[in-house]
Chains A and B, each alone.
Chain A
Amino acid sequence: MRGLRLNSVQDLRRKPESGGKMSEYRIQGNTGAWEVVIGLEVHAQITSESKLFSGSSTGFGAEPNSHVSLVDAAMPGMLPVPNRECLRQAVRTGMAINAQINRWSRFDRKNYFYADLPQGYQISQLYHPIVGEGEIEVTLNEKDPDSPTKKIGIERIHVEQDAGKLMHDQHPTMSFVDLNRSGVALMEIVSRPDISSPQEAGAYLKKLRSILRYVGSCDGNMEQGSMRADVNVSVRKPGGELGTRTETKNVNSIRFMMQAIEYEAQRQVDLIENGGAVVQETRLFDPNKMETRSMRSKEDAHDYRYFPDPDLLPVELDDAFLEECRASLPELPDAKRARYEAMGLTAYNAAVLTAEAETAFWFEDLLAQGVDAKQGSNWLMSELFGALNKMGKTLDESPVNPKQAAELLGLVADGTISGSIAKQVFEIMLETGQAASAIVEEKGLKQTNDTGAIESEIAKIMAANEDKVAEYRSGKDKLFGFFVGQTMKAMQGKANPQIINDLLKKALG
């Protein structure tokens, strides 16, 4: 049969060296320390206008069953047609984690009956996923440049359909089905069981989410269900044989995931130490009780009867397509951080500015306006973050955009206003939304270089403080600051500090 061979290409970029070591996480049981082994299957909704196999909208929060085509409802005779944009996003994501991209992949049917699954099967990729092995480097604290790093292996990324949603609270005896999500494209990103603590799992998920947002293949919004994790956990004596794992399904926040791992690992240790055995099963996390509970055991597990979907041809990716995917990739977090450090930013600033895509994109916009990198990063980290923090707003909600900020920083850079005046101007900008230059103009905040005016104020101050002038001249250098302050105050903060310095030195001798 034509093209059955698996024809894949190795990603051309660097292959990172094998992983480093992070802090050791151990559960102390009665019989000693236990090691935790964690693997994550992350379902990420692919950013696309329409569903994986139909033209329906993927918009969130619409009226139930308003985004449902004949294909999504699995009406008789309906056929799936792959949405190339969804495949493109999966390939770009694969490239971003240095993964093998499979030029030949195929869709399979995963058969099971459920009311939220109209076809009676989910179209997924079991045998030949579109993306193969890759890896992600994580640091326990991405904002700490000295934090240890570790490489987490990615086994595969495959593309599949989401199911609909059952609603049990609409009617006393009936359940309703909302098919808006039915057929929405998901990437399932499967990690190797390389994760050994809740913190590592959290760091991995954060890093993955950041990469997805940089790439633009998923908005990473866990509250809206755009990203959720199935968490595989087992425990073992350090270095021992792998234990039986459980899978906790559909965990929808990083915090919950870490709690679920902690609970589940402890539960397994307690179980084993009390003479029990871990059962391979699917569990659910209850965030209210902070515990996992059994959903179905292996005996009840479905036989999904996977087989190649005969409605679909194999997916074959050509050079031009792959080249376009690669060319469209943005600079990724690790590369960006290195570049920022080379530009003279502190390691801390570079780490913070690149950890989240939103921050990095905001900062890039600021640089694009011609702002100096160091000045811009310092201002962003202290002034803007401080102000947003006080207002309880995120960067996306900032009342000041990069262009407006650039104007303000430009006024400082060219000496029009001083740094301290800039703080005042910024506060007014936050309140009124006015442009920096308009505020400076209106309030008369321009810095003055009028040496005559400054000299005259200095003369007055020296006359009023003859004792301090004498003390200074007899060697008490520290008083210089006093004179600077007095002069600046007299000039209402608008004098150029350098000129004040020069004139004072001359006058005090």
Chain B
Amino acid sequence: MTELTKLGVAAIRDGVASGAFTAVEVATAFNSNVAKAKALNAFIVETPEKAIEAAQAVDADRAAGKPLGKMAGVPIGMKDLFCTQGVQTTAASHILEGFVPTYESTVSAKLWKAGAGMLGKLNMDQFAMGSSNETSYFGNVISPWRRNDGSNAALAPGGSSGGSSSAIAARLCPAATGTDTGGSIRQPAAFVGISGIKPTYGRCSRWGVVAFASSLDQAGPMARDVRDCAIMLEAMAGFDPKDSTSLDLPVPTWEAGLNRDLKGKRIGIPKEYRLDGIDEDIAKMWDNGIAWLKDAGAEIVDISLPHTQYALPAYYIIAPAEASSNLARYDGVRFGLRDLPEGAGLQDMYAATRAAGFGEEVRRRIMIGTYVLSAGFYDAYYTQAQKVRALIARDFENAWASCDLILAPTAPSAAFGLGEKNADPLSMYLNDVFAVPASLAGLPAMSVPGGLSKDGLPLGLQIIGKALDEQAVLNAGLAIEQRSGFTAEAGEWW
């Protein structure tokens, strides 16, 4: 049975369809892995019965000769940011602890309809705010990876989709949903040696996804390889009339369109991403990536994205501004935590509930967001940041005149140890420096494994594409995947 958990999305789908094994066998195997991996703290809620139920339905459909969905028989992990009907949804916060939605997010509903089953709700940074999964109310997620120095230090799985990355790397699930506001799919994927794609803003519905920063939030798949990401993204994407910002476009057949031949493609290498003092391992991996893409037939061109240095500051104004407003609904009035001290009035209840219900990082960002929107500061911060955002988008537009894709590192370093960076928010925020520009521009971007660091930890290569051109991003990802020879796995210690 252990063999089944070595399989990815495509292999499981094909094996279930061909009758090589049943969906229930697959679900049972992954349920068992989930149950054994408490030490990773990847799940907030485990739902083995949901996984079995969905698998039984797929097996029954197959027996009845009915057509099977894109994800038929594939059990997955669901980031706890997605509202799931009848299953607690907390965004890893105390304020939503015990909240059980009566509704199902559009993305998760699409996955269930495609035949996927739910293994459980994955831990994450609280309200998706964090880059190391250390802000969860339900405790840190531990990466299955360890450095090769024998230190056994617990490492960060990245964030905010750290439960997703850790669970996939530890083979607790073949794939999982992630959400990416400023790198939350790509950076954790890079930290654990898996793939993840943030599609063009508007591809996946935000309906039923607990909002962090509405103009940036975008769901996407995280999986073991590029093909698995393509399959799962097809199941997740699509127009949703319930989300005004959702794109009313047909969903491409990305899996069928996969093509590792990059002849005729021009790959841009942005000089601004080659920071002073860039990590040696990262620089080497990037050079390898360039060589692999050249080998795949692509032409390499140097490009400039001149406003890159302003992306991170702009992001840390826009995202908190939106968050400060989006999180106002957690007020203790209608659902979730309510802290009503003896004799307290309405304002006291708000203060007590929100102080107790939000973690430190969430409170910090609400404060930042409230500040940058307040009278007298709005123009200096929010308006300026929006202008920067427009300039960042224009940088990419200009770059597309000379290239079709951009190759860069996903993160400035390999995974760091838990507790190493959480004392200094700024050094934590710097983790997103390469991820944030594509988020601000709403562009599709993917992380694929690019090699190992000297410490034996995975590193990620990021491919950024033109709006709506996920296919080109996936194809370049595939070309890298087939040349990098990345087969390293975390040894099972949990």
- Interface residues of chain A, those whose CB is within 8 Å of chain B, are 1, 70, 73-82, 109, 111, 113-115, 118-121, 177, 303, 305-307, 310-313
Inter-subunit contact A307/B101 (CB<8 Å): no
- Interface residues of chain B, those whose CB is within 8 Å of chain A, are 82-83, 89, 91, 96, 99, 101-103, 105, 206-211, 213-215, 241-245, 321-322, 324-325, 327-329, 331, 333-335, 346-347, 350, 370, 373-375, 378, 382, 386, 389-390, 393
Partner of B244, one of A78, A113, A119, A312: A312
Inter-subunit contact B245/A311 (CB<8 Å): yes
Closest 8 CB pairs of A and B: A120-B328, A310-B215, A310-B214, A305-B373, A77-B208, A74-B329, A1-B390, A76-B210
Residues of B with C-beta under 8 A to A306? 373, 378
CB nearest to A112 among chain B residues = B328
Task: Provide a sorted-by-A list of 27 A–B residue pairs whose CB atoms are within 8 angstroms.
Answer: A75-B101, A75-B335, A76-B89, A76-B96, A76-B99, A76-B210, A76-B335, A77-B101, A79-B244, A80-B244, A81-B241, A81-B242, A81-B244, A115-B331, A119-B328, A120-B329, A120-B331, A303-B374, A303-B375, A305-B374, A305-B378, A306-B373, A306-B378, A307-B322, A311-B214, A311-B244, A312-B244
Residues of A with C-beta under 8 A to B208? 77-78
Partner of A121, one of B102, B325, B333: B325
For the residues of B in contact with A, the DSSP-based class is: loop
A-B contacts besides A77-B208, A305-B370, A312-B244, 5 pairs, CB < 8 Å: A76-B83, A76-B211, A77-B207, A115-B331, A313-B244
Inter-subunit contact B245/A76 (CB<8 Å): no
Task: With A118-B334, A303-B374, A305-B374 as known contacts, state yes or no: A76 contacts B91, CB within 8 Å.
Answer: yes
Q: How many A-B residue pairs have CB under 8 A?
A: 102
Partner of A74, one of B105, B206, B334, B350: B334
CB of A302, distance to nearest CB on chain B (Å): 10
Inter-subunit contact A307/B99 (CB<8 Å): no
Inter-subunit contact A1/B393 (CB<8 Å): yes
Residues of B with C-beta under 8 A to A80? 244
CB nearest to B329 among chain A residues = A74
Residues of B with C-beta under 8 A to A70? 102-103
A76-B328 Cα distance, complex, nearest whole Å: 11
Residues of A with C-beta under 8 A to B89? 76
Inter-subunit contact B331/A113 (CB<8 Å): yes
A79-B99 Cα distance, complex, nearest whole Å: 18
A188-B375 Cα distance, complex, nearest whole Å: 23
Residues of B with C-beta under 8 A to A303? 374-375
Inter-subunit contact B373/A111 (CB<8 Å): yes
CB of A275, distance to nearest CB on chain B (Å): 32
Partner of A77, one of B211, B244, B331: B211
Inter-subunit contact B103/A75 (CB<8 Å): yes
Residues of A with C-beta under 8 A to B327? 120
CB nearest to B322 among chain A residues = A310
CB nearest to B370 among chain A residues = A305
Inter-subunit contact A307/B83 (CB<8 Å): no
Task: With A76-B89, A305-B370, A305-B374 as known contacts, state yes or no: A118 contacts B325, CB within 8 Å.
Answer: no
Residues of B with C-beta under 8 A to A312? 244-245
A76-B217 Cα distance, complex, nearest whole Å: 14
Inter-subunit contact B83/A77 (CB<8 Å): yes
Inter-subunit contact B245/A313 (CB<8 Å): yes
A77-B242 Cα distance, complex, nearest whole Å: 11
Inter-subunit contact B328/A121 (CB<8 Å): yes
Inter-subunit contact B243/A79 (CB<8 Å): yes
A177-B89 Cα distance, complex, nearest whole Å: 25
Inter-subunit contact A77/B206 (CB<8 Å): yes
CB of A226, distance to nearest CB on chain B (Å): 26
CB nearest to B81 among chain A residues = A77
CB of B305, distance to nearest CB on chain A (Å): 17
CB of B368, distance to nearest CB on chain A (Å): 12
Residues of A with C-beta under 8 A to B373? 111, 305-307
Inter-subunit contact A113/B350 (CB<8 Å): yes
CB of A5, distance to nearest CB on chain B (Å): 13
Task: With A81-B241, A307-B373, A310-B213 as known contacts, state yes or no: A111 contacts B99, CB within 8 Å.
Answer: no
CB nearest to A119 among chain B residues = B329
Inter-subunit contact B334/A73 (CB<8 Å): yes
A370-B396 Cα distance, complex, nearest whole Å: 69
Residues of A with C-beta under 8 A to B211? 76-77, 311
CB of A111, distance to nearest CB on chain B (Å): 5
CB of A107, distance to nearest CB on chain B (Å): 10
A270-B325 Cα distance, complex, nearest whole Å: 43
Residues of A with C-beta under 8 A to B331? 113, 115, 120
CB of B296, distance to nearest CB on chain A (Å): 34
Task: With A75-B335, A177-B333 as known contacts, state yes or no: A307 contacts B378, CB within 8 Å.
Answer: yes
CB of A483, distance to nearest CB on chain B (Å): 81
CB nearest to B382 among chain A residues = A307
Residues of A with C-beta under 8 A to B101? 75-77
Task: With A76-B83, A77-B206, A313-B245 as known contacts, state yes or no: A307 contacts B325, CB within 8 Å.
Answer: yes
Residues of A with C-beta under 8 A to B374? 303, 305
Residues of B with C-beta under 8 A to A109? 325
CB of A83, distance to nearest CB on chain B (Å): 11
Q: Which of A75, A77, A121, A312 has the most CB of B within 10 A?
A: A77
Residues of B with C-beta under 8 A to A78? 207-208
A313-B245 Cα distance, complex, nearest whole Å: 6
A113-B209 Cα distance, complex, nearest whole Å: 22
